[in-house]
Chain A
C-alpha cells in the first residue's frame, strides 16, 4: 500500500519570497512521483514529475522538486513566488505497473501575500 503525507496544510508567504512545500511518501513498491496544482474552481494541472534519472526535476512556472529516496521525500520549491502562485498543491505517487493510478496527499494551500 502507498500513502502520501504533505506536512503543511497551509503555507502563507510574501510575494518574491522563496517557498518549500514538503511531501513524504510511504510505499512497499517503487513509485513515480508527481506534483499537481489546483487553482480555485478548476481541475488539477501537472506541475512536474519524477520518473527516473536526475533527482532534481524542473517543472512549469519556475517550480522544481528533488527526489530523495533515502528520506522518501519529494519536496517542491520555488525561489521567488508570485501572487499568481496562490493555489492548492498536491503531491502524488503512482506505483510501478499499476496502470498509472495516483495516490494523492491531502494538499497544501499556498497563499502568497503582497
Chain B
C-alpha cells in the first residue's frame, strides 16, 4: 500500500492567494483527518470526515478555511485568501475505524505533510 498521499509536499505562495492542499487516504479507510502543525500551537485537529461526511470542523480557524471530501479517495483543504500566519505543515491522516470485539480499534496513518509558506 502506498500510504496516505499528500500533494504538494511544499507550497510557497503570496498573501491573498488561494491555496489548495490535497490528500488521498489509504484505500478502504473510512475516516480522514486534517491537522496543522506549528511551533507555537503544536498539532491541531482542523476537521475530520467519516464516510465522506464532515463530522467535526470546530478546529477550522476561520471562514477562510474550507475542506471537502467528494469521494472516499480524495480530500482537499482550501485556504482563501491565505495569510502569513497560515504558514505551517498540514497533515492528512486516515483511519480504518474497525470494530473488533466491541472495541473501536482505530489508529491513524499520517501522510508526509505539506509545508506551506505564505509570504
Q: Footprint of B on A, CB under 8 Å?
A: 32, 34, 36, 42-46, 49, 51-52, 90, 94, 96-107
Contacts and interface: CB of A to CB of B under 8 A. Distances in A.
Interface of B: 4, 31, 33, 42-45, 48, 50, 55-56, 91, 93, 95, 97, 103-113
B108 A46 contact: yes
A106 B43 CA distance: 7
B110 A52 contact: no
Given A99-B31, A99-B50, A104-B43, A44 B110 contact: yes
Contact of B107 (A49, A90, A98): A49
A34 B110 CA distance: 14
A100 B106 contact: yes
Contacts of B103: 51-52
Nearest 6 CB-CB pairings of A with B: A43-B110, A104-B43, A100-B106, A44-B110, A106-B42, A43-B112
Contacts of B106: 94, 100
Contact of A44 (B50, B91, B95, B97): B91
A44 B112 CA distance: 8
Nearest to B58: A101
A43 B4 contact: yes
A85 B50 CA distance: 34
Nearest to A43: B110
Nearest to A105: B42
A62 to B, nearest CB: 19
Nearest to B112: A43
A105 B112 CA distance: 19
Contacts of B44: 104
Given A97-B104, A100-B95, A101-B33, 10 more contacts: A34-B107, A36-B110, A44-B93, A44-B110, A94-B106, A100-B48, A100-B104, A101-B48, A102-B45, A104-B44
